[in-house]
Amino acid sequence: MIPLFKVAMSAEAPAAAAEVLGSGSIGQGAKVEAFERALAERIGNPRVATVNSGTSGLHLALRLASGHRPGGDAEVLTTPLTMEATNWAILANGLRIKWVDIDPATLNVDLDDLARKITPRTRAIVVVHFAGYPVDLARLDAVLDRAEALHGFRPQVIEDCAHAWGATFRGAPIGSHGNVSVFSFQAIKHLTAGDGGALALPTDELYRRATLLRWFGIERTADRLRNPPDVAEWGYKFHMNDINAAIGLANLDTAQRALERQRANAAYYDAELAGVPGLELTERAGDREHSFWVYPLKVDDRAGFMKRMDEAGIMVSNVHERNDLHSCVREYAADLPGLDRVAPRVVCVPVGWWVTDEQRAHIAATVRQGW
Ligand SMILES: Cc1ncc(COP(=O)(O)O)c(C=O)c1O
């Protein structure tokens, strides 16, 4: 079976982790600092704060945006087509979900629907660069300009970049566009630290709050014995440790090679699968570089397609279920015609660095045959 996901672990990672394990110091220390510097350089944003998962990063990002004033009618506009981690972080912060429809062309949020749904209750806006295809951040900025002119405030935008390591918008890496951006370095992402995540922050103030709140709100560098620091804002235990940071550091070059191979495999599918009847590719725009964490297709008969792929030894999946139908979010149910149209048609085929030339030819031929 050709797998849909595989861990991109470098040959150097075990020794790097072993060195930390034997060093007598495994908590947040020099490796975390070095990993943050390396991430900052690649993202093109000096304000990078690592955390122990992308999920923790999202909880923290929502907290930064909400000021932790739960209750009331504060809402977060968000996408229903994502991993549940994106949206449960909103609920954990005592905020209400307001679903935004999906643009079937991109599988990202529909920016027209988003613009319509901003109200004085909007505390934050969460977008996901689905599969690694960047949201049109320039149009999003223009939507926010209009909202600010209308309502007198600008909701905080949180970019969930869990799929989008290495993606760019208008030539600049995702994570450097003036929003709070959250990355995941979980097992099967382009860049894995075993588990882990990071926030890339737009201001020094948000960076400082993130670095405090990821560890109880305590200033780690303070002399806690002679001059115990006050905790002005309570925080979490979300910090990364040196074991994960060492693994992440050892995987940076591997992740870059994975990204390049995934893009090459995707370019091959783009050429081989364009125009096949009953099958649609997602949008490609010239102003952004996709990271192709997965390669989504839209097919008319998904059950039949999945069966044929399974018989040919190719693992496929829709990867994420729409979040809005779970019973725990029933109260936020909304009319989402774009999502209704596209969700039953989405299916992802293997595109990862492990897919060989022969395998991708077999995958493309099998996809074409079915239609
Ligand atoms: C879109 C999205 N957001 C958030 C997460 C959560 O990241 P983590 O597993 O690092 O907590 C994931 C994980 O797959 C994801 O796909």
User: What was the pLDDT predicted at 222?
Assistant: 83
Instruction: Measure 35 CA to ligand 1 centroid, in angstroms.
Output: 19
Residue with the smallest CA separation from ligand 1 atom 16 is 83
- Tell me, using a 6 A CB cutoff, whether residue 159 lines ligand 1: no
Q: Helix, strand, or coil here: 334?
A: coil
Tokens standing for 188?
């099967």
Question: Is pLDDT above 70 for 69?
Answer: no
Question: Which tens digit of pLDDT belongs to each residue from 200-254?
Answer: 999 999 999 999 999 999 998 888 788 889 999 999 999 999 999 999 999 999 9
Please answer whether residues 259 and 165 qualify as being in contact, where contact means their C-beta atoms are separated by less than 8 angstroms: yes
User: Which among 123, 67, 124, 77 is positioned nearest to 99, based on CA atoms?
Assistant: 77
C-alpha separations of 181 from 8, 78, 232 in Å = 23, 14, 24
Indicate the pairing of strand 288-289 with strand 168-169: antiparallel
Question: Which tens digit of pLDDT belongs to each residue from 138-156?
Answer: 999 999 999 999 999 999 9
> Has 189 been annotated as catalytic?
yes
C-alpha separations of 289 from 109, 132, 158, 163, 274 in Å = 18, 8, 20, 13, 18
Residues contacting 336, CB < 8 A, separation 6+ = 80, 99, 101, 102, 324
Q: Can you say whether the dihedral through the CA atoms of 142, 146, 149, 153 is positive or negative?
A: negative
Residues contacting 152, CB < 8 A, separation 6+ = none
- Tell me, using a 6 A CB cutoff, whether residue 164 lines ligand 1: no
The mean pLDDT value for 14-22 works out to 98
The mean pLDDT value for 97-117 works out to 98
Average pLDDT taken over every residue of the chain: 96
Domain spans in the chain, listed from the N-terminal domain onward: 13-252, 253-369
- Tell me, using a 6 A CB cutoff, whether residue 184 lines ligand 1: yes
Instruction: Measure 356 CA to ligand 1 centroid, in angstroms.
Output: 26
CA 87/CA 108 separation, integer angstroms: 15
The mean pLDDT value for 244-267 works out to 98
3-state secondary structure 127-179: EECHHHCCCCHHHHHHHHHHHHHHHCCCCEEEEECCCCCCCEECCEECCCCCC
Instruction: Measure 365 CA to ligand 1 centroid, in angstroms.
Output: 31
- Tell me, using a 6 A CB cutoff, whether residue 50 lines ligand 1: no
CA 66/CA 56 separation, integer angstroms: 15
The mean pLDDT value for 161-167 works out to 98
Question: Which tens digit of pLDDT belongs to each residue from 173-205?
Answer: 999 999 999 999 999 999 999 999 999 999 999
Question: Which tens digit of pLDDT belongs to each residue from 355-369?
Answer: 999 999 999 999 998
> Hey, which residues does 235 pair with through a beta bridge?
none
CA 46/CA 220 separation, integer angstroms: 20
- Tell me, using a 6 A CB cutoff, whether residue 241 lines ligand 1: no
The mean pLDDT value for 256-267 works out to 98
Please answer whether residues 134 and 174 qualify as being in contact, where contact means their C-beta atoms are separated by less than 8 angstroms: yes
Specify burial of residue 250 (Cβ count, 10 A radius: 0-12, 13-18, 19+).
buried
Please answer whether residues 131 and 286 qualify as being in contact, where contact means their C-beta atoms are separated by less than 8 angstroms: no
The active-site residue, picked from 31, 98, 117, 189, is 189
Instruction: Measure 369 CA to ligand 1 centroid, in angstroms.
Output: 33
Question: Is pLDDT above 60 for 68?
Answer: no
Among 79, 128, 184, name the best residue to mutate to test ligand 1's pocket (greatest count of ligand atoms within 8 A of Cβ).
184
Chain centroid offset of residue 12 CA: 26
70 confidence band (pLDDT: 50, 70, 90): low
User: What was the pLDDT predicted at 369?
Assistant: 87
Angle CA(318)–CA(320)–CA(322) in degrees, nearest 5?
105
Question: Is pLDDT above 90 for 67?
Answer: no
Please answer whether residues 292 and 107 qualify as being in contact, where contact means their C-beta atoms are separated by less than 8 angstroms: no
CA 102/CA 319 separation, integer angstroms: 16
User: What was the pLDDT predicted at 209?
Assistant: 98
Question: Is pLDDT above 60 for 8?
Answer: yes
Superfamily covering domain 253-369: Aspartate Aminotransferase, domain 1 (3.90.1150.10)
C-alpha separations of 1 from 46, 86, 312, 323, 352 in Å = 42, 30, 8, 29, 14
13-252 CATH pick, 3.40.640.10, 3.40.50.1110, 3.40.50.12160, 1.10.3720.10:
3.40.640.10
Let me know how long the chain is: 371
